[in-house]
């Protein structure tokens, strides 16, 4: 017992170390083999050495190494799961965390895969460059969906105003950097604090009123921000309905440093995922689940349900605001639509498609939604005499998909798969 528990813990640490090592290898390789840009010196020269390797068009050694590593991890994970020798930390770590490691490495490889398949560079304008921005959008929305799922799926709190967090994240960071010349770190911190404050207001005012009242309260709350952002009186500050743009430091500039931004959002998404997983595995998470299943009973067991709900709300608020901050920086601007119902509906839809109350469901939901939308954007479907322009009708199609899933597959993709897996195992 004790040994396997120890193995579990150190297994997690080993898996993390393994991930870092696997990520360093291709970079070190690039450093060793690249040619520095003429005229650069010091660290910049060193980095430009690496850049010359992985920014090359088409197939790059960096991409090849990452791909091989990804496949190796896949094989190793399968082997680790097959062998049942208890007590080996590396095997424990791979068996438990291997699938996540695999997905993470695969996402790390994607820019190079794209560059290879399309014969373009991962760092300069081209097809791979464009698709990276699609993935960045996916990662940001995945953070928003993870946050939504924390509230709805795990704590059982329905919110129809999640866009308030998201939008205020984008607006705050942008307005502070534009008008008050805040350095980006300060602007991000203040924006997250604004998220905390919104969560506290929502919590202290809204959570006293139960269930539905709270959902409606959040809807109305988000609408205030939406109205304010689009209003003409604030036009000098917010640009009213047109929104505003602001300058970001070069290294955060998605147009210049897209590959970096890709990895930044990927890592942050992974962090958000890990954070929620850790939280739900902790005693606090247990109470939240108990709350969701039966609030009355949790209260009778002596838990201060208000405090626990507030914790969930604040954490979800920070995550959603953080996603909004990223969105603001990525677009170098914000407009009222980040505060609109759409950014509440999208994470709700992703959560429901992927699977409410599952860890990977919301992330999967966002991937499916956004990538399918991107692929079908210019498709025109002809059914007899009716022509459906899928890109233009996407919102309508989403609405219909949403209704069908709520009616027929309430557990979503991951939930349904898990149920079938369990049933097969049980039967």
Partner 1 sequence: MTTKLRSGFWRQSLLIAGLFAIALLALNFLIFDTGIVAVVLLSGFYQGMLFFLVAAGMSIVFGLLDVLNLAQGSFFMLGAYVGFAIYNALPEGTPITVRFVAALVGAVVFGGVLGAGVEIALLRPLYVRPIFQIVLTFGLATAITELVRGIYGPSGLVPVEPPAALNTTIAVMRGQFETYRLFIIAVGLVLMIGISLLLQRTRLGIIIRAGVQDSQMVEALGINVRRVFTLVFALGTAVAALGGMTAAPFLGAYPAMGEQFLLTAIIVIVIGGMSSFEGTAIAALLVGLTRATVEQISLQYLNTPILASISILVFMVVVLLVRPTGLFGREA
Measured distance CA(323)–CA(329) in Å, rounded:
10
Measured distance CA(32)–CA(209) in Å, rounded:
61
Query: Which of 288, 338, 352, 364 is close enough to bind partner 1 by CB under 8 A?
Result: 352
Query: Which of 400, 419, 420, 421 is close enough to bind partner 1 by CB under 8 A?
Result: 400
Query: Which of 83, 213, 274, 306 is close enough to bind partner 1 by CB under 8 A?
Result: 213
Q: Which is nearer to partner 1, 237 or 403 (CB)?
A: 403
Stretch that binds partner 1, among 50-58, 99-107, 171-179, 394-402 (CB under 8 A): 394-402
Query: Which of 40, 83, 396, 421 is close enough to bind partner 1 by CB under 8 A?
Result: 396
Task: Map residues 54-83 to x or -, x wherever contact with partner 1 holds by CB under 8 A.
Answer: ------------------------------
Does position 233 interact with partner 1 (CB under 8 A)? The reply is yes
Shortest CB 348 distance to partner 1, Å: 7
Does position 409 interact with partner 1 (CB under 8 A)? The reply is no
* # residues near partner 1 by CB under 8 A: 38
Query: Which of 44, 180, 227, 380 is close enough to bind partner 1 by CB under 8 A?
Result: 227
Nearest one of 148, 161, 138, 141 to 315, comparing CA atoms: 148
Query: Which of 57, 223, 337, 372 is close enough to bind partner 1 by CB under 8 A?
Result: 223
Does position 209 interact with partner 1 (CB under 8 A)? The reply is yes
Query: Which residues are within 8 A (CB) of 60 and not within 5 positions of it... i.e. 6 or more apart?
Result: 53, 54, 112, 115, 116, 122
Shortest CB 220 distance to partner 1, Å: 5
Q: Which is nearer to partner 1, 24 or 395 (CB)?
A: 395
Count of C-beta atoms within a 10 Å radius of residue 294: 12
Does position 197 interact with partner 1 (CB under 8 A)? The reply is no
Measured distance CA(116)–CA(125) in Å, rounded:
14
Restricted to residues 292-351, the positions that interact with partner 1 (CB under 8 A) are 341, 345, 348-349
How far lies 12's CA from each of 15, 84, 95, 132, in Å? Answer: 5, 17, 10, 29
Give the angle 48-49-51 at the CA atoms, nearest 5°. 60
Measured distance CA(266)–CA(100) in Å, rounded:
13
Report the length, in residues, of the chain. Answer: 427
Does position 224 interact with partner 1 (CB under 8 A)? The reply is yes
Shortest CB 336 distance to partner 1, Å: 12
Query: Which of 216, 279, 372, 390 is close enough to bind partner 1 by CB under 8 A?
Result: 216
Q: Are 91 and 80 in contact (CB under 8 A)?
A: yes
Restricted to residues 137-196, the positions that interact with partner 1 (CB under 8 A) are 158, 160
How far lies 292's CA from each of 35, 285, 287, in Å? Answer: 57, 11, 9
Exposure of 278 by Cβ count < 10 A (0-12 exposed, 13-18 middle, 19+ buried)? exposed
Query: Which residues are within 8 A (CB) of 212 and not within 5 positions of it... i.e. 6 or more apart?
Result: 158
Exposure of 216 by Cβ count < 10 A (0-12 exposed, 13-18 middle, 19+ buried)? middle
Shortest CB 385 distance to partner 1, Å: 16
Does position 220 interact with partner 1 (CB under 8 A)? The reply is yes
Shortest CB 217 distance to partner 1, Å: 7
Residue 171 phi/psi, 5-degree rounding, is -65, -45
Shortest CB 264 distance to partner 1, Å: 31
DSSP-derived letter for residue 388 is: E
Shortest CB 302 distance to partner 1, Å: 21
Does position 215 interact with partner 1 (CB under 8 A)? The reply is yes
Measured distance CA(298)–CA(300) in Å, rounded:
5
Q: Which residues bind partner 1 (CB under 8 A)?
A: 158, 160, 205, 208-210, 212-213, 215-217, 219-221, 223-224, 227-228, 231-233, 341, 345, 348-349, 352, 392-393, 395-396, 398-400, 402-403, 406-407, 410
């Amino acid at each position: 017992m004790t040994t396997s528990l120890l193995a579990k813990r150190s297994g997690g640490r080993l898996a993390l170390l393994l991930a870092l090592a696997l990520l360093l290898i291709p970079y070190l390789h690039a450093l060793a083999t690249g040619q520095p840009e003429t005229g650069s010196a010091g660290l910049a020269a060193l980095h430009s050495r690496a850049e010359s390797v992985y920014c090359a068009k088409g197939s790059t050694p960096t991409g090849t190494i990452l791909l091989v590593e990804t496949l190796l991890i896949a094989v190793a994970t399968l082997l680790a799961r097959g062998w049942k020798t208890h007590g080996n930390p590396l095997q424990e770590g791979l068996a438990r965390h291997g699938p996540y490691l695999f997905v993470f490495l695969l996402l790390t490889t994607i820019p190079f895969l794209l560059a290879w398949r399309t014969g373009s560079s991962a760092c300069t304008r081209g097809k791979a460059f464009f698709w990276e921005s699609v993935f960045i959008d996916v990662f940001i929305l995945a953070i928003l969906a993870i946050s939504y799922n924390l509230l709805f799926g795990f704590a059982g709190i329905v919110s129809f105003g999640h866009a308030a967090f998201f939008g205020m994240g984008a607006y705050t960071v942008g307005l502070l950097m534009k008008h008050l010349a805040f350095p980006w770190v300060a602007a991000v911190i203040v924006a997250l604090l604004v998220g905390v404050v919104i969560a506290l207001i929502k919590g202290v005012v809204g959570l006293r009123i139960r269930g539905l009242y709270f959902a409606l309260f959040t809807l109305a709350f988000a609408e205030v921000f939406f109205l304010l952002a689009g209003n003409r009186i604030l036009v000098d500050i917010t640009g009213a309905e047109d929104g505003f743009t602001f300058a970001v430091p070069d290294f955060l500039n998605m147009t210049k440093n897209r590959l970096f931004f890709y990895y930044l959002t990927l890592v942050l998404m992974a962090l958000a995922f890990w954070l929620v997983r850790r939280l739900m595995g902790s005693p606090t998470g247990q109470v939240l689940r108990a709350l969701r299943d039966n609030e009355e009973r949790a209260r009778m067991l002596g838990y201060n349900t208000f405090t626990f709900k507030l914790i969930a709300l604040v954490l979800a608020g920070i995550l959603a605001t953080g996603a909004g901050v990223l969105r603001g920086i990525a677009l170098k601007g914000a407009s009222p639509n980040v505060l609109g119902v759409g950014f509440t509906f999208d994470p709700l839809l992703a959560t429901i498609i992927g699977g409410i109350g599952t860890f990977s469901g919301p992330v999967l939901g966002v991937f499916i939604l956004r990538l399918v939308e991107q692929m079908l954007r210019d498709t025109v479907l002809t059914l007899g005499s009716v022509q459906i322009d899928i890109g233009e009708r996407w919102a309508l199609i989403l609405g219909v998909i949403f209704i069908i899933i709520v009616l027929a597959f309430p557990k979503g993709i991951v939930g349904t798969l898990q149920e079938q897996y369990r049933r097969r195992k049980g039967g």
